[in-house]
Structure 1
């Protein structure tokens, strides 16, 4: 029986994408894509999610790509412009699960400790969770097994009685290896359908 539901945040409950900001800088879409793919890469960003400070990450990248300094500094200097809207379909599912009173509901998120407060101020539903584990605060991130264990141990969660929802299949595979039940998120509609099939909503 599922007693605990664990949500990822980005691309599941919150829409975040660097293109929202960088489209105001780059006139050429391909030039922007090349910059995001080869300069401010997801691997680089994940180092900040894992606890490296924004300043350290920025200065390291500027040293590596000095010709892109202004655009690199914009990444965190204008980070709030990358934050989109709540993914309302998933928020509504969260609301229903919360109001049912059947589950403890937590968040396990790869997110910089320095930028997470921006999201907390913007999205009231982040206050609905029974607990949130933020990678930047813990200085480790998904898919590291130890990061999942922080949540499991801190909140006394039985993996076999929990369900983890994440859009990144890499993170799903890591959770499954720990005995956690999972749904690989692709859309609110798909999530609702799978929760319904499991008798959870």
Structure 2
């Protein structure tokens, strides 16, 4: 295995928590009804298109046309988005900062809408501390498509074989491996620390 020279972090559920349910607990108090709304109206498949670059007014209009009775809650998804980012994952942030301090080449690669990531930057400045970030919403590409990994390689001049990607999503881990990267699934900070140590990266 090629020694790791570049370390690439995902953001959501690796460095910051993401819980859409939280933003609707007051609007939709019934847990079953809230679950139905997030699984059938403002779904992950709908939201990922904002990560790909679709603008919120278009995204909302599409759903409102199909679910006019849910217009208020559909618009609340973006309006209450800040509530969905519940916390920083401090153990991961500590690891990332240690890697940077020790001189490792650290970047980020994330599926994130352009506007919401910039909102997250304001709240969590550590998201701007790496050498740079590939934002899906800025370039119209999303993980696990091969093209986004190749774009990151070209943008940041990394060697795929010497690049380690850290992501909580198994399909994104597999996507990175298909692009010729090394990759590990994020479980929690302690497991990440162990996985990095196994690769000879002390944190």
User: Which interval holds the TM-score relative to the shorter structure?
Assistant: over 0.9
* Matching residue of 1:81: 83
Please name the residue that 1:189 is paired with. 190
Runs of 4 or more above 4 Å deviation: none
Q: Which residue number corresponds to residue 43 of structure 1?
A: 45
Whether the aligned pair in 2 keeps the contact of 1:54 and 1:114 (CA below 8 Å) is no
Q: Provide TM-score, normalisation by structure 2.
A: 0.96
1:129-167 deviation line (CA, Å, top 9, x unaligned): 101010000011111111111110111111111100000
Q: 1:31, CA displacement in angstroms?
A: 0.8
Which aligned pairs between 1:127-166 and structure 2 lie closer than 5 A? 127-166=128-167
Equivalent-residue separation in structure 2 for 1:151 and 1:195 (angstroms):
21
Q: How far off its partner does 1:75 sit?
A: 0.2
Pick aligned residue for 1:29 from 24, 31, 42? 31
1:16 deviates by 1.4
Q: Distance in 2 between matches of 1:157 and 1:92?
A: 23
Deviation at 1:115, TM superposition (A): 1.1
Whole-angstrom CA distance in 2 between matches of 1:84 and 1:27: 18
Structure 2 runs not aligned, ≥5 long:
none
Shift of 1:194: 0.6
Matches of 2:128 and 2:13, distance apart in 1: 18
Provide structure 1 residue ranges, at least 5 long, that are not aligned to the other structure: none
**Structure 2 partner of 1:59:** 61
SS of aligned partner of 2:115? coil
Rounded to whole Å, the distance in 2 between the matches of 1:83 and 1:114 is 14
Cα distance, 1:17 vs structure 2: 1.3
Quote the residue 1:8 is aligned against. Answer: 10
Displacement after TM superposition at 1:123 (Å): 0.7
RMSD of equivalent CA atoms? 0.8
Aligned to 2:174: 173
Of 94, 101, 105, which residue of structure 2 is paired with 1:99?
Answer: 101
